[in-house]
Amino acid sequence: MYRKKITLVGGGQIGGILALLAAQKELGDIVIFDIPKAEGMVKGKALDLMQLRPHDGYDSDITGTSDWQDVVDTDVFIITAGIPRKPGMDREDLIEINLGIMQDVAKNIKKYAPKAFVIVISNPLDAMVYAFYKISGFSKNQVVGMAGALDSARFRSFIAMETGFSVQDVSCMVLGGHGDTMVPISRLATIGGVPVAKLITPERLKDIENRTRVAGGEIVKLFGNGSAFFAPAQSAIEMAESFIRDKKRVIPCASLCEGEFGINGYFIGVPTVIGSKGVEKVLEFDLNEDEKLELNKTINAVKKTVAETGL
Ligand code: APR
């Protein structure tokens, strides 16, 4: 059987968990790529994961490398290359260093695997996914950013924690940029189909929305050195799985909008269908006046960060 090839560019905190989750789901064979200085680390992680195989019973091959030649024929890239936040930093503070890294990564992916589907996780996400798209010249179907999947998972978790009901039955979405201006759409949140507004007071719902907006920062503060990795990794794996298995899941993702929601030429978190063709469709729906105002704010924030890339 033909196995898909998944390359994780950046084998640090998120990269390591991505490899574990991709293997446990048997999404394909996995290459963990990192810079030469970190080659030993990714080779070690790969070997460690190979030795976990007897317990989990998966047959994915996992290798570590710092040689771009090894990414040839990759079907899906997940990019976490870059530095994470430290306490007191906004995601935007990472732009200078991570943009330089993204230049290097995008050029090499274009050279060695021009047909691949690419999921970007590196922050500031809205600018990094835009940078990858511009530098690589890939089509808009091939490039997507992981943000809304994570922000929505955080929103879902907080709603489940508040009500005590199963997180499995909580359905909701967060749109917009991956920063403090993101837009949790509480109006459409449900638990088992029951509108969340029937189950949580407006005041508590506002608190939950606000906690969602700064949920990444809450973890950065607790860690003191680095940012979240378990939930970000699983969020990206769900996107990769939808592509590999052509599931056509509808996931809030940073997708290139060309008119949808009145947005033009920017990657913004919107409900996105991911299937074997990559980003297959953005699902539009009517926003109310408050949501439109909030979306406008987030678009302006994204435009500002993107402008800093000079691309
Ligand atoms: N090519 C490949 N890998 C690179 C490159 C490059 N040019 N430059 C840096 N890296 C690698 C680092 O060597 C490191 O192993 O990227 C990895 C990043 O791992 P961590 O520092 O552990 O960061 P992580 O927590 O995984 O977060 C990565 O995702 O969520 C975002 O804000 C976060 O931008 C950060 C990224």
- Asked if residue 136 and residue 9 are part of one domain, the reply reads yes
pLDDT at 306: 97
Decide if pLDDT at 189 tops 70: yes
> Omega of the bond prior to 36 within 30 degrees of 0, cis?
no
By residue count, the chain amounts to 311
- Asked if residue 253 and residue 206 are part of one domain, the reply reads yes
Segment 85-144, tens digit of pLDDT = 989 998 989 999 999 999 999 999 999 999 999 999 999 999 999 999 999 999 999 999
- Asked if residue 229 and residue 174 are part of one domain, the reply reads yes
Q: Quick one: which atom of ligand 1 is closest to the CA of 16? A: 26
- Asked if residue 43 and residue 28 are part of one domain, the reply reads yes
Catalytic residue among 5, 156, 178, 213: 178
Which residue lies with its CA nearest to atom 14 of ligand 1? 12
Segment 253-296, tens digit of pLDDT = 999 999 999 999 999 999 999 999 999 999 999 999 999 999 99
Task: Give the ranges where the chain is alpha helix by DSSP (H).
Answer: 13-24, 39-50, 53-56, 95-112, 125-136, 148-163, 202-213, 215-223, 230-244, 289-307
pLDDT-based confidence at residue 178 (cuts at 50, 70, 90):
very high
- Asked if residue 201 and residue 138 are part of one domain, the reply reads no
Rounded CA gap, 235 and 244, in Å?
Answer: 15
- Asked if residue 159 and residue 137 are part of one domain, the reply reads no
pLDDT at 2: 80
Decide if pLDDT at 1 tops 70: no
The pLDDT mean for the chain works out to 97
CATH number for the domain that contains residue 246: 3.90.110.10
Identify which of 86, 84, 272, 245 has the alpha carbon closest to the alpha carbon of residue 174: 272
Q: What are phi and psi of 178, to 5 degrees?
A: -95, 60
Q: Is the CB of residue 14 below 6 angstroms from any atom belonging to ligand 1? A: yes
Active site residue 178: yes
Q: Is the CB of residue 122 below 6 angstroms from any atom belonging to ligand 1? A: yes
Q: List the domain range (segments joined by +) for residue 12.
A: 5-147
Contact (Cβ atoms closer than 8 angstroms) between residue 109 and residue 116? yes
Q: Is the CB of residue 11 below 6 angstroms from any atom belonging to ligand 1? A: yes
- Asked if residue 156 and residue 277 are part of one domain, the reply reads yes
Pairing of strands 5-9, 29-33: parallel
Which residue lies with its CA nearest to atom 32 of ligand 1? 84
Q: Is the CB of residue 63 below 6 angstroms from any atom belonging to ligand 1? A: no
Question: Of 121, 147, 173, at which residue does a domain stop?
Answer: 147
Q: Is the CB of residue 15 below 6 angstroms from any atom belonging to ligand 1? A: yes
Q: Is the CB of residue 252 below 6 angstroms from any atom belonging to ligand 1? A: no
| Single-letter amino acid code for the residue at 16 | G
Question: Of 113, 147, 181, at which residue does a domain stop?
Answer: 147
- Put simply, whether the predicted model's pTM sits higher than 0.95 gets the answer yes
- Asked if residue 140 and residue 153 are part of one domain, the reply reads no
Question: Of 115, 147, 179, at which residue does a domain stop?
Answer: 147
Rounded CA gap, 77 and 6, in Å?
Answer: 6
- Asked if residue 36 and residue 135 are part of one domain, the reply reads yes
How far from chain centre, in Å, is Cα 145?
A: 5
Rounded CA gap, 307 and 72, in Å?
Answer: 32
CATH number for the domain that contains residue 35: 3.40.50.720
What is the 193 CA–ligand 1 centroid distance (Å)?
39
- Asked if residue 154 and residue 26 are part of one domain, the reply reads no
Q: What are phi and psi of 272, to 5 degrees?
A: -125, 135
Q: For the chain, first and last CA: distance in Å?
A: 42
- Asked if residue 99 and residue 183 are part of one domain, the reply reads no
- Asked if residue 171 and residue 107 are part of one domain, the reply reads no
pLDDT at 239: 98
Q: What are phi and psi of 184, to 5 degrees?
A: -70, 125
Q: Is the CB of residue 145 below 6 angstroms from any atom belonging to ligand 1? A: no
**In the chain, how many domains are there?**
2
Q: Which of 35, 66, 80 to mutate to test the pocket of ligand 1 (most atoms within 8 A of CB)?
A: 80
What is the 237 CA–ligand 1 centroid distance (Å)?
17
For the chain, the maximum distance between any two Cα atoms, rounded to a whole number of angstroms, is 55
What is the 113 CA–ligand 1 centroid distance (Å)?
20
pLDDT at 236: 98
Say how many C-beta atoms besides its own lie within 10 A of residue 284's C-beta.
13
Q: Is the CB of residue 306 below 6 angstroms from any atom belonging to ligand 1? A: no
pLDDT at 83: 94
Q: Which of 8, 14, 95 to mutate to test the pocket of ligand 1 (most atoms within 8 A of CB)?
A: 14
